[in-house]
Amino acid sequence: MKVCLFGIYNPQYARNYVLKSGFLKHGYTVVECRVDPTEHTGLTKYWLLYKEYRKIRKEHFEHIIVCFPGHITVFIARLLFGKKIIFDVFISLYDSNVFDRQTYGPNTLRAWRDWLLDWSSCRLASTLLFDTKEHIHYFSETFGVAQSKCIRVFIGTQDDIFYPRPTPNNKTFTVTFHGSFIPLHGVSYIVEAAQILRDEEILFHMIGEGPETRATQNKIHALNLHKSVLFFGRVSLEELAQHIARSDISLGIFGNTPKAFRVIPNKIYESMAMQKAIITADTPAVRELLSEKTTLLIPSANPTALASAILELKHDEIKRRQIALAARELFQSSLLPEHIVGRLLSSLKEHRLYP
C-alpha cells in the first residue's frame, strides 16, 4: 500500500508530520512528492514540483494527499493525478487574512482572490480534510462546500518531541504561552491577567513571535510587567518542549475573533501530550475534543476569568494534576498519529468519498 504526500509543505509541521507518521504506522509506504518552499521561491518551485512528480508518475497510490498549505498546489495535483485526490484544506485563506489577522479589508482585490482560492480549490478534490467540525460548517456556509465530501481530522502533534518530561521544582509558579501572536490567540488578555496577578508571585513565559509581538511588548512595558512577563522569541521544537516541561500551567487561546471559535490550536495538543494542565477559552471547536475534565475552560476575551483560573490551579495542586493526567490520557488513547490516521482511513472506507 502506498500513499503520496504532495505539495510545497513543511514535513515537520504537526499537521503533515502526523499524517506521514500515521500512515507509516498503518503499514503504508509514504512517498513524498514535495519541494521545500524555503529553498525555492516564485514559479520555480512549481516547476520543480512537476519534475518531482515525473519521478513517481508510474507508481500506483491508494491515496494522494495535497498537504497543507496547498490552496495553489491542489490545482497542479488535479492536472497530474485527476480528481481522485485528498486536499488537506485545514484553514481558510479568506477568513485568516481578512477577518482574523485583518491584513486587508473584505472588499479588496486580495480578499476576493483569497475567497476565490478557497472556493475553487475545494472543488478540485474528491475529499477535503479539516481540523474541526466548526471549520467544515464554515466552509459549507461560506463557500458552498458539500459536507458529504469533508472529513474532520484532528491535528495531533509530534509525539516524538512532545511527551511527559521531568518537571523541575520551579522557585516561582510558571504559566507558559507559546504561539505566533495572531489575533485569535488573544495575547493582550494574557497580559491583562498578568497585571491582575502582579502581586501573586506568578511568572509568565511568552514564547514565539508574530504580528502582535510588538504591541504586546509595548503593553508589558506600559504596565511595568517586565519582571513577571518574560519573552523568549521563536525557539526550536525541542526547546519549546523544554519550556513546556518547566511550566505549571499551559495557556491556550483567548481571542474573540470568529476564527478563534473554529480552531483547536497546536499548543493544545502539545500541552496535552506533555501532561500539562491547560486553560483555554470555552469555544464550540474546543468542545469537540475537550471537556472540564481535561482542561479548565473559561469565557473568551476575559482577563479576569483567566486570572481567577490561574489562581485556582495554583492553589489546588490536586485539581491541576488531575486535569493534566486526564489530558494526557485522552491524547494517548485517541490522538496519537496512528489513531488520527486510523479514523481517517475508516472514514474514507465507510463513506466511499471517492471510488
Edge-to-edge order in the sheet of strand 29-34: 29-34, 2-7, 63-66, 86-90, 127-130, 150-152
Check pLDDT > 90 for residue 350.
no
pLDDT in tens, 186-238: 999 999 999 999 999 999 999 999 999 999 999 999 999 999 999 999 999 99
Torsion of CA 12, 276, 178, 286, to 10 degrees: 80
Strand-pair category, 173-178 with 249-251: parallel
Q: How sure is the predictor about 339, in pLDDT bands with cuts at 50, 70 and 90?
A: very high
Contact 273, 299 (CB under 8 A): no
pTM for the whole thing?
Answer: 0.95
* Structural domains of the chain sorted by starting position, each given as residue range(s) with its CATH number in brackets: 2-156+335-351 (3.40.50.2000), 173-334 (3.40.50.2000)
The alpha carbon of 6 is separated from its chain's Cα centroid by a whole number of angstroms, namely 20
Amino acid (one-letter) located at 262? R
Q: Report percent pLDDT > 90 for the chain.
A: 94
- 228 closest CA partner among 156, 142, 307, 325: 307
The Cα-based distances of 218 to 208, 221, 227, 330 in angstroms read 16, 5, 14, 38
Across the chain, mean pLDDT equals 95
- For residue 168, the model assigns a pLDDT of 75
Check pLDDT > 50 for residue 93.
yes
Q: Find the DSSP H helices in 64-207.
A: 73-81, 93-94, 109-121, 133-143, 187-196
Contact 310, 197 (CB under 8 A): yes
d(CA 7, CA 35): 7
**What is the DSSP secondary-structure string of 213-257?**
HHHHHHHHHHTT-TTTEEEEES--HHHHHHHHHT-SEEE-----S
Q: How sure is the predictor about 40, in pLDDT bands with cuts at 50, 70 and 90?
A: confident
Type and span of the H or E element at 347: helix 337-351
**What is the DSSP secondary-structure string of 80-119?**
HH-S--EEEEES-HHIIIIIIS-SS-TTSHHHHHHHHHHH
Cα end-to-end span (Å), the chain: 16
Q: How sure is the predictor about 355, in pLDDT bands with cuts at 50, 70 and 90?
A: very low
pLDDT in tens, 55-78: 999 999 999 999 999 999 999 999
pLDDT in tens, 153-198: 999 999 999 999 988 777 899 999 999 999 999 999 999 999 999 9
Q: Is 175 left (phi over 0), alpha (psi -120 to 50) or beta?
A: beta
- For residue 171, the model assigns a pLDDT of 81
d(CA 29, CA 12): 18
- For residue 170, the model assigns a pLDDT of 72
Q: Is 2 left (phi over 0), alpha (psi -120 to 50) or beta?
A: beta
Owner of C-alpha cell 491535528:
155
Torsion angles phi and psi, residue 121, rounded to 5: -65, -35
pLDDT in tens, 302-330: 999 999 999 999 999 999 999 999 999 99
* Residue 73 CB-half CA count within 13 A: 31
Type and span of the H or E element at 355: none
